[in-house]
C-alpha cells in the first residue's frame, strides 16, 4: 500500500556534465520519450547525455519531480558504463545536494540515506571484518566503518524531515513523475511528501539490523499507554535516556504522523498509520502478554470505525494476530490458542460481509479462502518390503471423509522407477494422471476424519 519512489532502484552514478542553460519551456515528455528510446536501444551514454539535459531544465524551471526523476535515471544509466558505480552514486547525490533547494533537498537526503545503507548491505562481509576506523575520509564511504555508516544514514533520514510543516503542505500527487503508477486508495494513505519521507525513515528505524553498531538501546515499551488510541498517543510524552535509539526515533515519527492526520476528514490515512504504530508497539513491547494490549487496542479501533470501510482493515490486523497466536497451539502442552483460527475465520466473514470491496475486506476474503480450503496429507514409508504391511499416516483439514485409492504406476522397468521417481505427473496437463485414474485401483478404502471446526489437521 506504499507509493514507491523511483529512487528505490538505488544503484550507481558518476559526475554528469550539464549542457548549456535551458531557455523557454522544456518539453519533458518528449525528452523522456527519447530517454526510453536510448534505453531500449542500449545506448547508455546517449541516455546519460539526454537525462543530464532534463536535469538542467528541471532545476531551471523548478520542477522538483522531474529533477529527482532525472537524478535517479542518471544513477541508473551510469551503472552501465562506470566501475565503482555505488560510490559514484553517493558522490553524485552529495554534489547535487550542495546546490539543491527545498523540497528537492529533502528527497535527496532520503535518497542519500538509502544509498548509504544499500552500500552497507552489498558489502556486509567487508564491514564485518573491519574494526572501528578513526582517520577515515568523510567523503569516501569506502573508508568508513559500520558505526559511521549507521550514524550517517540516521543523520540523512533526519535531515530529510527537517521541515515537517512545509513537507505536509506538499501533496504527493504533484510529484507524479517520481512515482510508479499506484491506485487512488494507496495515494490517499500517503497523501503528502511528509508521509512518504517519514515512512521511508520509519522503515529504516524499525529494521533491527540498522542499530547493530549503536549502544544498547535504553528506550523500552513498558507502559500500556503506548497502546492507547490515536488521540491519546498523539499527546503522550515519549522520552528515552538514549535519544539516538532507533526505536525511540520510530515512535516519535509515528507520533508526528498521527498528529498530522488526527483531524483528517477521511480517517483512512490516520487509521492506516495508527495500525502500523500499534503493530510496532506490539513487536517491540516489553510488557507481559503484549498480545492482550494489542488485541484490546484493535478491538477499540474496530468499535470506533465500525461505520467506515477502514473497519475491515482493522479486522484484518486482528485476523493476523489471531492467526499468529493460533500457530502457537501445542496439543501436547495445553488447549491454549486452539480456537484462534476459528476466531480469525469468523472475523473475516464479518469484515468481508460489511465491506466486501474494501482493501481490508478483500484481504480478509483471501486469507479465509486459504485457511478454509480442504487439505489432505498422506505420509508413507519410503521403502516397503514385499508382502509387508504399508504404514501410512493420513490427516485432513475441513473434511469429514477421505477415500484413499492405490494405483499401479506403469513404469517400463524397475530401473526406470529407480532413476525417475517423479514420473512427470504434471507434464501435458496431468494427462498421465487422468489416464491412470480411469483404471480400477488395486485397493481403495474410505476413512472418517474428525472435523471439530478448529481449522486444524486431524488424523
DSSP class per residue in 413-428: -HHHHHH-TTTTTTTT
Q: Are 116 and 128 within 8 A, CB to CB?
A: no
* pLDDT in the model for residue 144: 81
Q: Are 251 and 223 within 8 A, CB to CB?
A: no
Could you tell me the three cell numbers for 68? 529527482
- H/E segment holding residue 167: helix 164-168
* pLDDT in the model for residue 14: 25
The rounded distance, in Å, linking the Cα atoms of 455 and 296 is 24
* pLDDT in the model for residue 1: 43
* pLDDT in the model for residue 84: 59
The rounded distance, in Å, linking the Cα atoms of 359 and 304 is 18
In 10 A of CB 93, how many CB atoms? 27
* pLDDT in the model for residue 185: 61
R_g (Cα) of the chain, nearest Å: 29
Task: Describe the chain by its helix, strand, coil percentages, rounded to 5.
Answer: 55, 5, 40
* pLDDT in the model for residue 149: 84
- H/E segment holding residue 52: helix 44-61
The rounded distance, in Å, linking the Cα atoms of 192 and 31 is 27
* pLDDT in the model for residue 6: 36
Query: Rounded to two decimals, what is the model's pTM?
Result: 0.80
Beta bridge partners of 378: 394
In 10 A of CB 74, how many CB atoms? 25
Burial of 297-320, coded b for 16+ CB within 10 Å and e otherwise, reads: bbeebbebbeebbbbbbbbbbbbe
* pLDDT in the model for residue 300: 96
The rounded distance, in Å, linking the Cα atoms of 203 and 157 is 11
The rounded distance, in Å, linking the Cα atoms of 247 and 243 is 10
Q: Are 384 and 398 within 8 A, CB to CB?
A: no
Q: Which residues of the chain have pLDDT under 70?
A: 1-24, 79-84, 127-138, 176-187, 209-218, 410-429
Task: Tell me the C-alpha to C-alpha distance, in Å, between residue 53 and each of 60, 79, 80, 182, 302.
Answer: 11, 18, 19, 28, 52
The rounded distance, in Å, linking the Cα atoms of 423 and 431 is 12
The rounded distance, in Å, linking the Cα atoms of 255 and 277 is 8
Amino acid at each position: 500500500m506504499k507509493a514507491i519512489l523511483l529512487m528505490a532502484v538505488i544503484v550507481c552514478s558518476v559526475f554528469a556534465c550539464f549542457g548549456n542553460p535551458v531557455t523557454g519551456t522544456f518539453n519533458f515528455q518528449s525528452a523522456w520519450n527519447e530517454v526510453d528510446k536510448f534505453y531500449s536501444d542500449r545506448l547508455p551514454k546517449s541516455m546519460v547525455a539526454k537525462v543530464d539535459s532534463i536535469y538542467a531544465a528541471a532545476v531551471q524551471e523548478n520542477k522538483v519531480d522531474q529533477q529527482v526523476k532525472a537524478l535517479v535515471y542518471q544513477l541508473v544509466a551510469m551503472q552501465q558504463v562506470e566501475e565503482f558505480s555505488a560510490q559514484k552514486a553517493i558522490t553524485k547525490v552529495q554534489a547535487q545536494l550542495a546546490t539543491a533547494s527545498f523540497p528537492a533537498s529533502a528527497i535527496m537526503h532520503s535518497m542519500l540515506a538509502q544509498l548509504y545503507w544499500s552500500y552497507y548491505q552489498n558489502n556486509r562481509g567487508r564491514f564485518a571484518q573491519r574494526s572501528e576506523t578513526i582517520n577515515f575520509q568523510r567523503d569516501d564511504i569506502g573508508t568508513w566503518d559500520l558505526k559511521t555508516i549507521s550514524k550517517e544514514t540516521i543523520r540523512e533520514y533526519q535531515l530529510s524531515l527537517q521541515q515537517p510543516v512545509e513537507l505536509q503542505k506538499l501533496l504527493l500527487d504533484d510529484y507524479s513523475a517520481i512515482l510508479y503508477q499506484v491506485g487512488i486508495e494507496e495515494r490517499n494513505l500517503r497523501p503528502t511528501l511528509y508521509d512518504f519521507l517519514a515512512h521511508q525513515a520509519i522503515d529504516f528505524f524499525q529494521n533491527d539490523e540498522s542499530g547493530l553498531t549503536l549502544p544498547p538501546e535504553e528506550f523500552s515499551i513498558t507502559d500500556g499507554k503506548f497502546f492507547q488510541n490515536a488521540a491519546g498517543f498523539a499527546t503522550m510524552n515519549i522520552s528515552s535516556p538514549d535519544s539516538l535509539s532507533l526505536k525511540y526515533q520510530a515512535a516519535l515519527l509515528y507520533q508526528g504522523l498521527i498528529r498530522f492526520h488526527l483531524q483528517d476528514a477521511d480517517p483512512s490515512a490516520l487509521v492506516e498509520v495508527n495500525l502500523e504504530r500499534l503493530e510496532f508497539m506490539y513487536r517491540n513491547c516489553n510488557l507481559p502478554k503484549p498480545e492482550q494490549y494489542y488485541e484490546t487496542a484493535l478491538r477499540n479501533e474496530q468499535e470506533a470505525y465500525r461505520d467506515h470501510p477502514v473497519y475491515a482493515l482493522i479486522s484484518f490486523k486482528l485476523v493476523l494476530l489471531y492467526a499468529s497466536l493460533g500457530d502457537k497451539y501445542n496439543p501436547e502442552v495445553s488447549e491454549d490458542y486452539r480456537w484462534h483460527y476459528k476466531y480469525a475465520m469468523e472475523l473475516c466473514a464479518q469484515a468481508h460481509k460489511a465491506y466486501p470491496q474494501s482493501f481490508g475486506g478483500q484481504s480478509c476474503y483471501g486469507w479465509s479462502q486459504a485457511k478454509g480450503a480442504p487439505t489432505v496429507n498422506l505420509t508413507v514409508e519410503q521403502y516397503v518390503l514385499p508382502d509387508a504391511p504399508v504404514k501410512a499416516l493420513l490427516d485432513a483439514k475441513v473434511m469429514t471423509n477421505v477415500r484413499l485409492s492405490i494405483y499401479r504406476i506403469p513404469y517400463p522397468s524397475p530401473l526406470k522407477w529407480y532413476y525417475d521417481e517423479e514420473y512427470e505427473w504434471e507434464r501435458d496437463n496431468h494427462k498421465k494422471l487422468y489416464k491412470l485414474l480411469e483404471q480400477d485401483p488395486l485397493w481403495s478404502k474410505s476413512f472418517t476424519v474428525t472435523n471439530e471446526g478448529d481449522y486444524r489437521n486431524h488424523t
